């Protein structure tokens, strides 16, 4: 179709689109040719990722946990990892490729990312240790929590229920304080040197 | 009013801080004759006598040095690292509805990208007739619009799902700002590339090292999204996406991609990290909502609040706060000072715009007894801000995002205020 616009901008060259268009979709669209196995992945992972995410995806300090947490989503303290929570493998490849390692993004080659992804699948008990991931085997992998998501349903479950008349007078007989932030005392203040309360 | 206090007493440190604020209260009350002449009146002050700075001293002005407490603050224990982290707008120090640019909260995933506008490009590709590249100069030649919108982080108040945790509305509600954006309607930019009829979704992408991406349905892209380059009249601040960001009115802040460098058009969503691992809302049954885009109606009393106690003692007292809704405007806010036994309609003041902050006031004569303050926003769809318990009943305590439950402040006889939950 003809541009109905203002004649602004210029055509994007194919090589320019290729340089920036790196996104991957669940159906595999965008995956580059390449492959990597679990044991190669362990080597690449230990060199590039383990200092923050731990040798086995268990995480160092407060950095994200990448493996484990199976069957914790209904618990009080769910552990949401690639294996326990993420619905699509494509997201693992895409995110490592675009944003990791933290501080040196977009530094890994496709084969390295396939290998790290294979190792993360192994750490999450999704594949055996002889598994090789490639753009051709990618769609064969089933993620455990693929069916764990549903579209926003607030329109049905909340919006109508939370609309309507409200009480203005004599709404209850008494009021009780059930929880206090001062008891927990985790708000930064001048003694932490991080922030000062105005009090 | 009967207020029963359960559980442990506040820490000694907090008690001492409260006591320090109390002496001012003794001087308050009805108007009294001064015993001694006020030195602020009878003594000459330096600014009465001596010359101040000239007009060349402050080419870009900053607030008075007496306002040095009015700053963004962070909570170091919330995140692993200050680079992928968040800080908080000092809502308790602000009034009206516009957030000053230097105080707008920040949320980065790979730090503040310092982008040279001369080297910045915006590419449109995917299911379009003509993949196209724009420079900043090109973007400035499209027709512009001005709109005031709030930007609220999906995780605002997220630390409060399991109960009262952080003491101050800056921390509990400060992942929000409200500014006037100047920008180009996204539909005009997409039209330049020519969206194919199969194009149902867009994927905006940032130029920073997190390569931020989100999937947005075409209806929203064509409706009210802006590609913005000014906030409150001046260029975007680097921490807000200079030189250009996406504005997605009413929707969770994560989707407002900063340092916008590319928009791909596709026929289905991408399910990227920020819409699968993050920004999905886990419910009690282990299932998670995805694509929870709209920010529901919400409000908070900014004064009094834990960082802004009552220091004047009993008598005329101004209660004020802000309210907003991602689904429209806020025609009404109710407030209570007795924990919800009795409610009063607050007085709205200032402009009322769709998907923007609204300012409310309630003036009352404080008798010096303890108060339990709450505000309850009504939006233009008829939705009324729920209590935290109403939300927990539907969602449990692990959904992290989208906590728009009613906030309670407990004000003591001394005028200090605390973040609490009540029955």
Q: Is the pLDDT of residue B14 over 80?
A: no
Both tokens of B290, joined, read 């995805």
Q: What is the mean pLDDT of residues B93-99?
A: 98
Q: Which residue has the higher pLDDT, A54 or B77?
A: A54
Determine the Cα angle at B357 with ends B388 and B186, to 5°. Answer: 110
pLDDT at B7: 42
pLDDT tens string A23-35: 999 999 999 999 9
Q: B410 in the Ramachandran plot: left (φ > 0), alpha (ψ -120 to 50) or beta?
A: beta
**Contact A26/B at CB under 8 A:** yes
Average pLDDT, chain A: 92
Q: How far B403 CA lies from chain A's nearest CA (Å)?
A: 13
**CB-CB: which of A152, A173, A178 is closest to B293?**
A152
Q: What is the mean pLDDT of residues A109-129?
A: 98
Average pLDDT, chain B: 93
Residue of A nearest to B88 (CA): A195
Confidence of residue A175 (pLDDT cuts 50, 70, 90): very high
pLDDT at B3: 52
Instruction: Number of A to B CB contacts under 8 A, please give it.
Output: 314
Q: What is the mean pLDDT of residues A48-55?
A: 97
Chain A, 82 to 121: residues with Cβ < 8 Å from chain B are 82, 85-88, 90-91, 94-95, 98-99, 102-103, 105-106
Q: Is the pLDDT of residue A56 over 60?
A: yes
A102 to chain B: which residues are within 8 Å by CB? Answer: 81, 83-84, 110
pLDDT at B81: 87
Chain A, 120 to 179: residues with Cβ < 8 Å from chain B are 148-154, 157-159, 162-164, 166-179
Residue of B nearest to A184 (CA): B165
Q: What is the mean pLDDT of residues B148-174?
A: 96
**Contact A193/B at CB under 8 A:** no
pLDDT tens string B344-356: 999 999 999 999 9
pLDDT at B31: 67
CB contact under 8 A, B164 and A184: yes
Confidence of residue B10 (pLDDT cuts 50, 70, 90): very low
Interface mutation vs chain A, best among B286, B299, B409, most A CBs within 10 Å: B286
Which of B186, B43, B162 has the alpha carbon at shortest distance from B421? B162
B119 vs B107: CA distance, rounded Å: 24
A115 vs A123: CA distance, rounded Å: 12
Q: What pTM, to 2 d.p., does this model score?
A: 0.92
Q: Count Cα neighbours of B416 within 13 Å in the Cβ-side half-sphere.
A: 19
Q: Is the pLDDT of residue A157 over 50?
A: yes
pLDDT at B346: 98
A73 to chain B: which residues are within 8 Å by CB? Answer: 282, 286, 288
Who contacts A143 (Cβ-Cβ below 8 Å, separation ≥6)?
Answer: A86, A87, A88, A89, A126
Of A91-100, B77-86, B267-276, the poorest mean pLDDT is in B77-86
Return the residue matching tokens 């084969």. A111
pLDDT at B5: 46
Q: Predicted ipTM?
A: 0.93
Both tokens of B169, joined, read 């509305």
Q: Is the pLDDT of residue A1 over 60?
A: no
In chain B, the percentage of residues whose pLDDT exceeds 70 is 92
pLDDT at A99: 97
Q: Is the pLDDT of residue B11 over 50?
A: no
pLDDT at A28: 97
Confidence of residue B30 (pLDDT cuts 50, 70, 90): low
pLDDT tens string B387-407: 999 999 999 999 999 999 999
A107 to chain B: which residues are within 8 Å by CB? Answer: none
CB contact under 8 A, A90 and B383: no
- What's phi and psi for B125, nearest 5 deg? -145, -175
């Amino acid at each position: 179709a003809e541009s109905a616009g203002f004649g602004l901008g210029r055509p994007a060259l194919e090589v320019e689109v290729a340089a920036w268009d790196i996104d991957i979709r669940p159906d595999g669209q965008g995956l580059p040719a390449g492959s990597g196995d679990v044991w190669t992945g362990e080597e690449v992972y230990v060199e590039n990722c383990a200092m923050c995410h731990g040798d086995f995806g268990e995480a160092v300090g407060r950095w994200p946990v990448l493996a484990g947490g199976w069957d914790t989503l209904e618990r009080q303290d769910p552990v949401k990892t690639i294996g326990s929570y993420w619905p699509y493998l494509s997201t693992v490849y895409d995110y490592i490729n675009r944003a990791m390692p933290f501080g040196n993004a977009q530094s890994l080659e496709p084969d390295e990312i396939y290998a790290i992804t294979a190792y993360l699948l192994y750490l999450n008990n999704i594949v055996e240790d002889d598994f090789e991931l490639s753009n051709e085997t990618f769609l064969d992998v089933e993620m455990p929590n693929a069916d764990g998501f549903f579209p926003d349903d607030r329109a049905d479950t909340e919006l109508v229920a939370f609309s309507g008349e409200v009480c203005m007078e004599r709404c209850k007989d008494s009021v009780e304080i059930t929880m206090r932030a001062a008891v927990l005392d985790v708000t930064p203040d001048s003694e932490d040197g991080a922030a000062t309360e105005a009090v | 009013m009967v207020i029963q206090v359960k559980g442990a007493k506040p820490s000694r440190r907090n008690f001492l801080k409260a006591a320090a604020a109390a002496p001012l209260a003794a001087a308050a009350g009805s108007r009294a004759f001064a015993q001694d002449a006020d030195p602020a009146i009878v003594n000459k002050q330096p600014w009465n006598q001596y010359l101040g700075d000239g007009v060349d001293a402050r080419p870009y002005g900053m607030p008075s040095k007496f306002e040095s407490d009015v700053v963004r603050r962070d909570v170091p224990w919330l995140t692993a690292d200050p680079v992928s982290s968040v800080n908080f707008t000092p809502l308790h120090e602000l009034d009206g509805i516009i957030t000053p640019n230097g105080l707008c909260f920040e949320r980065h995933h790979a730090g503040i990208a310092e982008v040279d506008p001369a080297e910045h490009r915006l590419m449109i590709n995917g299911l379009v007739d003509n993949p196209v590249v724009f420079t900043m100069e090109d973007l400035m030649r499209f027709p512009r619009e001005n709109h005031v919108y709030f930007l609220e982080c999906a995780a605002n108040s997220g630390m409060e799902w399991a109960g009262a945790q952080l003491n101050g509305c800056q921390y509990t509600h400060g992942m929000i700002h409200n500014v006037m954006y100047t920008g180009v309607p996204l539909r005009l930019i997409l039209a330049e590339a020519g969206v194919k009829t199969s194009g149902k979704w867009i994927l905006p992408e940032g130029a920073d090292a997190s390569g931020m991406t989100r999937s947005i349905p075409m209806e929203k892209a064509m409706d009210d999204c802006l590609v913005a380059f000014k906030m409150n009249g001046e260029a975007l601040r680097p921490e807000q996406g200079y030189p250009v960001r996406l504005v997605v009115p009413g929707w969770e802040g994560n989707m407002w991609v900063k340092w916008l460098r590319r928009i791909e058009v596709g026929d289905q969503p991408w399910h990227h990290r920020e819409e699968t691992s993050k920004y999905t809302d886990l419910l009690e049954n282990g299932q998670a909502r995805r694509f929870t885009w709209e920010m529901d109606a919400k409000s908070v009393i900014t004064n009094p609040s834990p960082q802004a106690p009552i220091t004047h003692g009993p008598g005329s007292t101004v209660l004020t706060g802000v309210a907003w809704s991602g689904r429209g405007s806020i025609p009404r806010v109710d407030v209570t000072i007795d924990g919800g036994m009795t409610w009063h309609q607050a007085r709205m003041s200032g402009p009322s715009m769709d998907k923007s902050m609204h300012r409310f006031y309630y003036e009352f004569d404080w008798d010096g007894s303890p108060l339990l303050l709450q505000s309850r926003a009504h939006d233009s769809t008829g939705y009324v801000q729920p209590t935290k318990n109403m939300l927990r009943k539907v969602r449990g305590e692990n959904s992290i995002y989208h906590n728009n439950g009613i906030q309670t402040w407990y004000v003591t006889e001394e005028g200090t205020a605390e973040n609490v939950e009540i029955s």
